[in-house]
Amino acid sequence: SDSDETLKFTVLHTNDNHGRFWHNSDGEYGMAARQTLINRLREQVAANGGEVLLLSGGDINTGVPESDLLDAEPDFVGMSHIRYDAMAVGNHEFDNPREVLEKQQAWASFPMLSANIYKKDTGERLFKPYEIFNVNGVKIAVIGLTTEDTGRIGNPEYVSDLEFRNTAEEAAKVIAEIEANESVDVILATTHMGHYEDGNNGSNAPGDVTLARSLAPGKLDAIIGGHSQNPVCMEPGTNNYNTDFKPGDECVPDQQNGTYIMQAHEWGKYVGRADFEFRGDELKLVSYELIPVNLKEENEDGDKVFIGEEIEKDPALYSILEEFQNKGDEALGNIIATLNGKLEGDRSVVRSQQTNLGRLIAAAQTEAVPNADFGVMNSGGVRDSINAEGISGYDVSYRDVLIVQPFGNTIGRVEMSGAAIAEYLGDVATKQIESGAYAQFSGVNMAVDCAAGTVAINSLGDKDYSPEDSYIFTIPSFNANGGDNYPILDFIDTGKVDADELKRFFETKQVINAADYEPQGEVVYL
């Protein structure tokens, strides 16, 4: 459009849904309330002469058993009902086999966008790189981008045929393509790359700030992001976060090199709202806010109360989602064992020391494979504790199991000589502490020399160690395929699913004493 008219449009956005189609036990967030809010915002915007574009920064998958069990169908059905216009492809969209992702694309009434994911064999993109929207007379291109870390942290079984190319280079290329072939007014990116303060991405792949700084000024108008799961609210005019931000506070988005960068924390806790005006050739951000979706705070009496007025749940969407929730509940509520004591899976603990839960999971996998001597388990695959309060007589449900093991890995069976195992464990047992790669062991008695990157093994299962003898061990398919940078193994995929075997382990034992799985100094770190 080349008129002098002022054209208004509003970008609404969420990111990192992670299975949160349903509200939590306090009645916070949830897609039915989100629907009501977005309907309301659409009306407001229209009454003000504007129109809405609704985007998601990706990672719809993984995190809530009711959703995981149904391959996130409720989430994609809910998003379609709310009428999302597009989403970025997140790394967790690769937690399932490709057929599941294809099913999800069919459930979604909107495109999944990513410009930097290529099939290795054909060199073609797996997704549409961008989509053009006409929003209230403004022609807007929306480019999708996915963190380059997906190739590194994603399940190798599902990503090894893909290439996650440099996001900055890919963005520049696609922008040039759009400029050459389409006459658009505005270019936006919906990304799943993470927002890192002042571009300090540490050990992560470069995020939105690096992307914005890499492009020539004016090339990209705004980035609607995800992945780092933070509310991107800055101290005005600085590169620093407003660390005091609370729900309901004013939120100033980041701006780098002329590009706005926005992110709405996670789980649909907020809907981000960016009101733009387009006039002549100029785009102006008129206002921005993060609108809480039924979030609560504690009042003086210590009761949790809604911040602002409660948003009613949209009845039509609620009844659709309720059916999914009930289906999940039924399957997940089954009590499978009694537990005395806490099984430790808090990430701050399980990623830095041997814990009873890490050992128990490794033991469950070892028991599932005939003649296996020991088990290796990545701590990053232990997603939570069971019975956090440590009460005795705790009822363990299938839900607990799926919360701890949501990824649906299969159990790998590996046979190796003692010497080869010593070399393998020298690598695996000395992975970076506090990372998901840090390994939990069952049935391994050894001393680990982290500085030297070696281990001295005493016994494996109930056998003494000998470099010439052959042993069998179990390991999640994720790591056997090279996940967490473990050496890629020649292994037999047993096809047994980790959560199923953990469930079976509980059902077989019936009573679990957490203390029985406490480490007794079998693994010593020198």
**Active site (catalytic) residues:** 16, 18, 59, 91-92, 95, 192, 227, 229, 347, 351, 383
Site for Zn ion in 223-242 (CB under 5 A): 227
**Separation of alpha carbons 42 and 48, rounded Å:** 10
# of chain residues touching ligand ATP (CB under 6 A) = 19
* 59 counts as binding ligand ATP under rule CB under 6 A: yes
Of 88-96, 121-129, 408-416, 476-484, the segment contacting Zn ion by CB under 5 A is 88-96
Could you say which of ligand ATP, Zn ion, none residue 472 binds, taking C-beta under 5 to 8 angstroms by partner kind? none
Which residue of this chain has its Cβ atom nearest to Zn ion in the complex?
227
The answer to whether 429 touches 447, Cβ cutoff 8 Å, is no
Could you say which of ligand ATP, Zn ion, none residue 153 binds, taking C-beta under 5 to 8 angstroms by partner kind? ligand ATP
Q: Which of 338, 291, 56 is nearest to 191 (CA)?
A: 56
Identity of the residue, 192 or 503, whose beta carbon is nearer to ligand ATP in the bound complex: 192
**Separation of alpha carbons 22 and 26, rounded Å:** 11
Q: Which amino acid is at 165?
A: R
Strands 162-164, 117-119: parallel, antiparallel or unpaired by DSSP? antiparallel
* 496 counts as binding Zn ion under rule CB under 5 A: no
Q: How far is the CB of 380 from ligand ATP (least distance, A)?
A: 2
The 10 Å Cβ neighbour count of residue 274 is 22
Which of 59, 85, 157, 254: binder of Zn ion (CB under 5 A)?
59
Residue 100, SS3?
Answer: helix
Site for ligand ATP in 208-227 (CB under 6 A): 227
**Separation of alpha carbons 361 and 364, rounded Å:** 5
Quote the distance between the C-alpha of residue 403 and its chain's center: 14
**Separation of alpha carbons 79 and 94, rounded Å:** 19
Here the tokens at position 346 are 């808090």
* 153 counts as binding ligand ATP under rule CB under 6 A: yes
Identity of the residue, 131 or 384, whose beta carbon is nearer to ligand ATP in the bound complex: 384
* 7 counts as binding ligand ATP under rule CB under 6 A: no
Site for ligand ATP in 437-476 (CB under 6 A): 437, 476
3-class SS letters over 147-172: CCCHHHHCCHHHHCCEEECCHHHHHH
Q: How far is the CB of 127 from ligand ATP (least distance, A)?
A: 18
Could you say which of ligand ATP, Zn ion, none residue 477 binds, taking C-beta under 5 to 8 angstroms by partner kind? none
* 496 counts as binding ligand ATP under rule CB under 6 A: no
* 195 counts as binding Zn ion under rule CB under 5 A: no
Strands 270-279, 282-292: parallel, antiparallel or unpaired by DSSP? antiparallel
Site for ligand ATP in 133-152 (CB under 6 A): none
* 155 counts as binding ligand ATP under rule CB under 6 A: yes
* 328 counts as binding ligand ATP under rule CB under 6 A: no
Q: Which amino acid is at 301?
A: D
* 380 counts as binding ligand ATP under rule CB under 6 A: yes
Contacts with Zn ion, 4-43, as mask; x by CB under 5 A: ----------------------------------------
Q: Which of 507, 444, 474, 491 is nearest to 371 (CA)?
A: 474
* 91 counts as binding Zn ion under rule CB under 5 A: yes
Here the tokens at position 301 are 């009496």
The answer to whether 101 touches 157, Cβ cutoff 8 Å, is no
Of 246-254, 320-328, 435-443, 488-496, the segment contacting ligand ATP by CB under 6 A is 435-443
Strands 259-262, 523-525: parallel, antiparallel or unpaired by DSSP? unpaired
Q: Which residues pair with 304 in a beta bridge?
A: 298
Task: DSSP letter for 185, please.
Answer: S
Which residue of this chain has its Cβ atom nearest to ligand ATP in the complex?
380
Q: What share of the chain is helix, strand, coil (3-state, %, to 5)?
A: 30, 30, 40
**Separation of alpha carbons 180 and 129, rounded Å:** 15
Identity of the residue, 95 or 314, whose beta carbon is nearer to ligand ATP in the bound complex: 95
Residues that bind Zn ion (CB under 5 A): 59, 90-91, 227
Residues that bind ligand ATP (CB under 6 A): 59, 91-92, 95, 153, 155, 227, 229, 378, 380-381, 407, 409, 435-437, 476, 478, 484
